Structure 1
């Protein structure tokens, strides 16, 4: 099967969707699925050279919406070469263009990636008014006409119904997660310590996400200041890209609270440096206000690390059910509770929670399950409609 994914960008600075697609690409390969990606990245981006799968970079674009005059013509000319299309994300041009090109020609599905969570409507009411204008004419038809609108949890699927009145689509929950990291953990730790040398030999909790209001960074700094005096040997690593320029404000907050020297900011960590940070940390913490899944949570579990998360991370119920971490409200008091409950655990209790964390990952969050579910969904549709594999014929024609 040949599947085309369409995404705004494959740059990791954009958070979960590009990281998730990179992980899904490997799961596709394990399942024998041929993947290609169309993105709005510029063709000269350095990170594209590191990817093993074929990327049709149809940018660069200069706006967040990401209009490109090249994307729709390219999709119309090439979409028949694929058996199916998966659109990653909404509210940007790649979603509109892919939906328009695929409609009536090949089956397509849309990964929402949390973009219909009512938190956005509540937090950014003016942006929601602008989205209302775009929703009816451009975005809603893409979801309505899709074979499936894909959600990573039942909670995400249910909450998506609350953002807009017109919401008739075929919502499907698919497995999601990450791949178990390979490589030597000790060597990966060394790569991390070379990126953040000051934390070598120190106890620390790891935050790894975009430095963004949604992630609850300010809550974490305030809560950490409350426990800092009683745990003078504990540090905090705040890893992730500063997309909106909020880091300076957070550093000022930490300075005013007297804990600036207890927090390290290594920026975005990739590959071995990322896995090394997970392996070296005591636990992972994410007091997010909204998280449809939280790919970094699954990555932490894959490394056997307990997760300290808010109850706005949509997999929190599975974390609690598996004894893989601690959950509290997305408030200062809730985040303080995450920290104090972790510190109250005995060494044996922390070891047991670490073991349960890895078991939670193994049982629930393998990305290969997502690859299988997507393939089976499209195979069933192709069989029902009597369509043969266009992608297979394209490969045969190329070979001939």
Structure 2
């Protein structure tokens, strides 16, 4: 089998979908599946990395919709080389252009590749309901009527990373009538093994750390992530309990308005630490040296950081708006509550109330969740099985 991935950008700074592509392709190669990517970037030299698979860059677009006149001609000239085409992400020209191209191609050819769309959470109702997204929600309504419902309904199937994403997608827009809905799962690469240098580097990055196990939030500092709920809950517990593990809130965004609000909110506590973004050994040290990971997010399609925590044998304390919550609760790999301040407080209380033996058992369960549901090898096999059976 040969797969073409169509995505607006493969630049590493885009995160999410493009990193998922980079993770899955080597595993699919082991299964005999070849992959190529076409995207609307200027040149692969901008990536700062060398990918072991072909990436066809058509040049960047200056429009918000990322229209590119060369996409459809390129697709029409190359469809015959592929068995499957996967559109990664929605709301920019690459999705509309791909569907338009395949419909034209099929009028002139009896044999054509199957085309699937993979929304990567972009059909989640949160994005249409969040107060801070009113203008973008209006834009999406217009795009849906003009382009995107055609993409969803005329693709051969829609690929989802988890059951919750599949179910939520049905509730967001009218005239949602995909030909098939396929839960193909998702996976991440195994974390590096723990080394003493990780602790050393982490201490350099977070000198206020008392070297004891802590609670870790490791993600973008953004209103969507519910960080304010976490801080308020932690401050409440500080008043009620004699001692608490430190709380490290790591991620970019502290220099933005929301980040500055959080710094002010947490200023009364010396136990809430903000080291900024952690990467490399510092990031993995933060996972390994913590006792639990917490993310009370208002929306999270997959949550790579959640799965990274599981892979490091760390229980996860998450909201039920993190779409993989079903997989986590099925193996008791953490606690799940609603995305409110009261429920975030309950999440922390649930964890802190556990006996050491119970925490140890949940740590074992967390690693089991990763090993049985979220390895990159399993994600590749699940994707391939989904494509072959449809």
Residues 1:331 and 2:343 are matched in the alignment:
no
Indicate the larger mover: 184-193 or 322-331: 184-193
Question: Could you tell me how far apart the structure 1 residues matched to 2:260 and 2:345 are?
Answer: 23
Alignment partner of 1:368 is 2:380: no
Q: Is the 1:118–1:163 contact (alpha carbons within 8 Å) kept by the matching residues of 2?
A: yes
- Cα distance in 1 between the residues matched to 2:185 and 2:67: 31
The residue aligned with 2:160 is 151
Q: Deviations over 1:232-271 (max 9, x none)?
A: 563222233339933223223323xx1366222331x444
1:346 aligns to what? 355
Scaled by the length of structure 2, what TM-score is found?
A: 0.86
Tell which has more relative contact order, 1 or 2 (C-alpha 8 A, sep 6+): 1
Map residues 32-71 of structure 1 onto 2, 5 A cutoff: 32-43=32-43, 46-62=46-62, 65-71=65-71
Partner of 2:238: 228
CA gap of 1:228–1:61, structure 2 versus 1, over 3 A, is: farther
Higher alpha-carbon deviation: 167-176 or 74-83: 74-83
The alignment's C-alpha RMSD in Å is: 2.7
Q: Structure 2: how far apart are the matches of 1:44 and 1:374? A: 26
Unaligned ranges ≥5, structure 1? 382-400
Take 1:226 and 1:302, find their aligned partners in 2: how far apart are those partners? 30
Q: How many residues align?
A: 378
How far off its partner does 1:216 sit? 1.0
1:114 partnered with 2:126: no
Listed one character per residue, the Cα deviations across residues 319-363 of structure 1 (whole Å, up to 9, x for unaligned) are 222111111110111111111221111221111110011111112
Deviation of the 1:92 alpha carbon: 1.8
TM-score scaled by length of structure 1: 0.84
Distance 2:201 2:62 in 1: 34
* 2:120–2:160 Cα contact (<8 Å) kept: yes
How many angstroms does 1:64 deviate by? 5.2
What is the match of residue 26 of structure 1? 26
CA 1:102/1:342 → structure 2, altered by over 3 Å: closer, same or farther?
Answer: same
**CA distance in structure 2 between the aligned counterparts of 1:161 and 1:138, rounded to whole angstroms:** 17
Q: Does 1:138 align with 2:166?
A: no
Indicate whether 1:242 and 2:253 are aligned.
yes
Aligned residues of 1:210 and 1:243 also touching (Cα < 8 A): no
